[in-house]
């Protein structure tokens, strides 16, 4: 079962570690290469974006975020943390679960994801 919990400032070291992994950095490179930069970028009280950690069997497995626009469209972005879990369908399972999760807590009209064409 896939579950989601809100990102906390205590997750910043884990997020920094994940952001340095080659399979993540290839598509998700915002220059967040220090703990200070991660804390600034993902500051929980400054952002319109909502951040979550995906969990499977109580293990942290990925990072998910969403932003609600004025027309009730929710934009989603995400990554799986472990390269050995790629290309096995887990990303699709997590994306569907996150969509269901968000639609239960927000009044949304549509969901959108904009992956890199090579990803």
Residue 118 lies in a domain: no
| Domain count across the chain | 1
pLDDT of residue 46: 66
Q: Which residues contact 90 (CB under 8 A, 6 or more apart)?
A: 56, 61, 80
Bridge-based pairing of strands 2-6 and 50-56 is antiparallel
The mean of the pLDDT values for the chain is 86
**Domain of 91?**
2-113
Least confident of 40-44, 45-49, 78-82: 45-49
Average pLDDT of span 21-35: 86
How far does CA 13 lie from the centroid of its chain? 15
pTM, rounded to two decimals: 0.87
Residue 82 lies in a domain: yes
Average pLDDT of span 39-43: 87
Interatomic CA distance for residues 34 and 19, integer angstroms: 10
pLDDT of residue 44: 72
Residue 17 lies in a domain: yes
Nearest to 64 by CA among 96, 107, 86, 21: 96
pLDDT confidence band for 47 (50 / 70 / 90) = low
Q: Residues 79, 24: contact at Cβ < 8 Å?
A: yes
- CATH number of the domain that residue 108 is part of: 3.40.630.30
Q: Residues 25, 19: contact at Cβ < 8 Å?
A: yes
DSSP state of 26: T
Residue 37 lies in a domain: yes
Angle at 59 between CA 117 and CA 89, to 5 degrees: 35
- 3-12 pLDDT, tens per residue? 999 999 999 9
pLDDT confidence band for 105 (50 / 70 / 90) = confident
């Amino acid at each position: 079962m896939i579950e989601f919990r809100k990102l906390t400032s205590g997750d910043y070291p884990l997020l920094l570690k994940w952001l340095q992994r080659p399979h993540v950095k290839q598509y998700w490179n915002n220059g967040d290469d220090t703990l200070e930069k991660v804390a600034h970028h993902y500051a929980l009280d400054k952002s319109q974006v909502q951040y979550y950690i995906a969990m499977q069997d109580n293990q942290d497995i990925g990072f998910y975020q969403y932003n609600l626009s004025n027309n009730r469209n929710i934009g989603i972005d995400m990554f799986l943390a472990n390269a050995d879990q790629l290309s096995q369908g887990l990303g699709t399972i997590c994306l569907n679960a996150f969509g269901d999760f968000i639609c239960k807590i927000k009044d949304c009209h549509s969901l959108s994801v904009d992956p890199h064409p090579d990803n």
